[in-house]
Homo-oligomer: A and B are copies of this chain.
Amino acid sequence: MGEVDILISGGTILTLDENETKIEDGALAIKGDTISAFGSSKEIELLYSGEKTINARGCLVMPGIVNGHTHAAMTCFRGLADDLELMNWLNNYIFPAEAKNVNEELVYWGSLLACAEMIRSGTTTFCDMYIFEDETAKAAKKAGMRCLLGEVLFDFPSPNSQSPAEGLDYTKRLIETWEADPLVNIVVEPHSLYTCSPSLLRDSKALAENYGVPLATHLLENRGEVEQLHDRLGKKATLFLRDMGLLDDHFIAFHCVCMDDEDIKLFAEHGSKIVHNPESNMKLASGVAPVTRMLDHGVPVGLGTDGCASNNNLDMMQEMDAAAKLHKVFTMDPTVMDAKTVLKMATAEGSRALGMESEIGILRQGMKADIVIVDLNQPHLTPMYDEYSTLVYAANGSDVRDSIINGRIVMENRELLTINEKQAMDKVNDISERVKRGMVPE
């Protein structure tokens, strides 16, 4: 009988693989950081004994959720300013609050709090863009979360760098520092086409190619940006990206609200990826991304929450629900964005969008053991006709009972094992008091 580290037994396993394999009364064996086997409980329990066993009877066992785009440290600004016109929100609240307050301490504790919230709601991997990202990497490492993150780059100074060159240099150091880390992965992240010169974009691409890491940016988030870019670039943004050599299968674009079929086809032809952020796009009235057409063209589309200042939580279960419903009413077709499609955007397709599909996103022998267990034994998840539908339309993040990342149990029975939650909340509350004192009255 094989010895494994963890044996999860008795739950319904949703692998989310290409056959949508589902195993009722299933078991899954984890050795080290890897899924070593799965099958019926009867079969797996005969073959393996686990040093640690988890009883998942009455639960769903599924791949950890991938939050494809966020700004983790912005938990510190959650609810600071809402229901405002975009430029008023940015220029009079968010940017001044960031300029005055963002430092290494804020980013570390804000990111750690975000990790606590993400683990509690089923996310095991997140893709992040912010300032002082080495602190976010340290927080993720502390939390035991998998991540793909990069320092935000733009033409103007940030609290962490005086120039684009300093930002690129910081990114280079991030890549080298975290190169061998099993959890932390780095991406080069110019902020957007409207805040980065062609030369910064070129240097970003050179850095990414040199180290073989992806490049990601905000793109076409709203109508104003489309017009601004057309004036600035003299052509459509996607054609500009293609001509600059940025569009390839290492390119990830966040938002992509204002894309026409030509833009989508360009992405499809070049193997580029998109992360959709429905709740943020709704809350900021940015618009509705043409996700169903992106999927029709075979573009990998992941799902993300965006930062807490424009959502205002990091609950990917709620994000799935919003994504499914938004596109149904937007297209006036209730059959689009069915529960399976949306659950995949948050797992298998989400990992493809980040270029991590060889490691995570589905449950299969040899994949990294990033697994969450959802407790079905609750009034709002009763009865059970369809697991996909239950997860997307009825569940919320608080229904996640256990979480395992890279073979390590990070939450058990709703208790976080890697983070001192109270300390993280206290620190962020202290930071928020400073932020409040620094706010200019309206």
Contact = CB atoms under 8 A, between A and B. Distances in A.
Interface of A: 75-76, 78-86, 89, 113, 116-117, 120-121, 279, 281-288, 308, 311-315, 318, 321-322, 324-326, 328-329, 331-335, 337-339, 377, 379-380, 382-386, 389-390, 393-394, 396-399, 421, 424-425, 428-429, 431-432, 436
Nearest to A223: B332
B379 A283 contact: no
A325 B383 contact: no
Contacts of A83: 324, 334-335, 337-339, 389
A126 to B, nearest CB: 14
Given A79-B384, A335-B84, A393 B312 contact: yes
Contacts of A78: 382-383, 385, 390, 394
Contacts of A322: 322, 325
A120 B380 contact: yes
A113 to B, nearest CB: 5
A328 B431 contact: no
A236 to B, nearest CB: 22
19 contacts: A75-B383, A80-B386, A82-B389, A83-B389, A113-B379, A281-B329, A282-B326, A283-B329, A283-B334, A285-B333, A285-B334, A308-B394, A313-B393, A322-B322, A379-B421, A379-B425, A382-B425, A396-B396, A398-B399
Given A82-B389, A284-B334, 4 more contacts: A312-B390, A318-B318, A379-B424, A398-B398
A220 B8 CA distance: 49
Contacts of A429: 382-384
Contact of A383 (B287, B335, B432): B432
Residue picked from A279, A281, A311, A383, most chain B C-beta under 10 Å: A383
A279 B318 CA distance: 12
B334 A85 contact: yes
A158 B421 CA distance: 53
A383 B312 CA distance: 11
A341 to B, nearest CB: 9
Contacts of A285: 328-329, 331-334
Contacts of A312: 389-390, 393-394
Given A390-B79, A396-B397, A428 B332 contact: no
Q: Copies of this chain, how many?
A: 2
Given A334-B84, A335-B85, A329 B286 contact: yes
Contacts of A283: 324-325, 328-329, 334, 393
A429 B279 CA distance: 33
A311 B393 contact: yes
Residue picked from A75, A314, A334, most chain B C-beta under 10 Å: A334
Nearest to A382: B425
A334 to B, nearest CB: 4
Q: Which 8 A-B pairs have the closest CB atoms?
A: A383-B432, A282-B325, A83-B338, A398-B398, A312-B393, A285-B334, A117-B379, A282-B329
B315 A396 contact: yes
A87 to B, nearest CB: 10
A97 B80 CA distance: 47
A428 B326 contact: no
Nearest to A222: B332
Residue picked from A283, A382, A396, most chain B C-beta under 10 Å: A382
Contacts of A86: 334
B338 A82 contact: yes
A79 B432 contact: no
A37 to B, nearest CB: 30
Contacts of A117: 379-380
A397 to B, nearest CB: 7
Contacts of A85: 333-335
Contacts of A81: 385
A33 B215 CA distance: 61
Contacts of A332: 285, 287
